[in-house]
Amino acid sequence: MDEVVITAEQINGKITELAKEIDAEYADREPLLVGVLKGAVMFMSDLARQLERPSTMEFMAVSSYGSATTSSGVVRILKDLDRDIAGQHVLIVEDIIDSGLTLSWLLKNLAARHPASIEIVTLLRKPDAVKVEVPVKYVGFDIANEFVVGYGLDYAERYRDLPYIGRLRPSVYGG
Ligand SMILES: O=P(O)(O)OC[C@H]1O[C@H](OP(=O)(O)OP(=O)(O)O)[C@H](O)[C@@H]1O
Ligand code: HPA
């Protein structure tokens, strides 16, 4: 890992802001947080702890076929939700929207299960990489179109444990 792009303090401050917005929006509804494994684990646990309003949690694991640094848009479910979300106020929690292909697919898949409402919160978004627009209600940081790791995000399963977001040298991943 070569350069810190977003510090742990900046992440924490942004989550405080997002939690306030979400608390206000869900003042009379209990959100069901749906975390997308594995990348969203850190963000989901910090966000849930900063929300003052109660929430419940579910996790889903999906995999897009493709190389470690590109997304193909073909998605398969590795782990589905444990319960029915019909009538629930679903808030999808993602670590990053890159091409948008994963979330675009996931949003359609979950919307078809008849939740009462469905919104998305993502910690990171790469506006210059987006191939398909996804209606995202809450965005932490818009970042440049470069490969980042840390705070849940991996390269070949490494670096998820870093408390900050960093940039990898292209020579590390062949980019
Ligand atoms: O917008 P996209 O181009 O579709 O990319 C974003 C997706 O890619 C990453 O997941 P990945 O498939 O690497 O799984 P992981 O969360 O287990 O690392 C990330 O967590 C998002 O889910
Ligand atoms: O920049 C990224 N880093 C790690 N995983 C990712 N999945 C999509 N984009 C990224």
Q: Where are the domains of the chain?
A: 9-144
- CA atoms of 142 and 106, how far apart (whole Å): 21
pLDDT in tens, 41-93: 999 999 999 999 999 999 999 987 665 455 666 789 999 999 999 999 999 99
Question: Could you tell me which of 113, 108, 73, 91 has the C-alpha nearest to residue 36?
Answer: 91
Ligand 2 pocket member 85 (CB < 6 A): no
- CA atoms of 80 and 11, how far apart (whole Å): 28
Which of helix, strand or coil describes residue 33?
Answer: strand
Calculate the CA 20 to chain-centre distance: 18
Nearest CA to ligand 2 atom 3: 148
Question: Could you tell me which of 139, 163, 136 has the C-alpha nearest to residue 45?
Answer: 163
pTM of structure = 0.94
CA 70 to ligand 2 center in whole angstroms:
8
Ligand 1, from 102, 106, 124, 139: best to mutate by most atoms within 8 Å of Cβ? 102
Q: Tell me the CATH number for domain 9-144.
A: 3.40.50.2020
ipTM above 0.85, yes or no: yes
pLDDT in tens, 24-49: 999 999 999 999 999 999 999 999 99
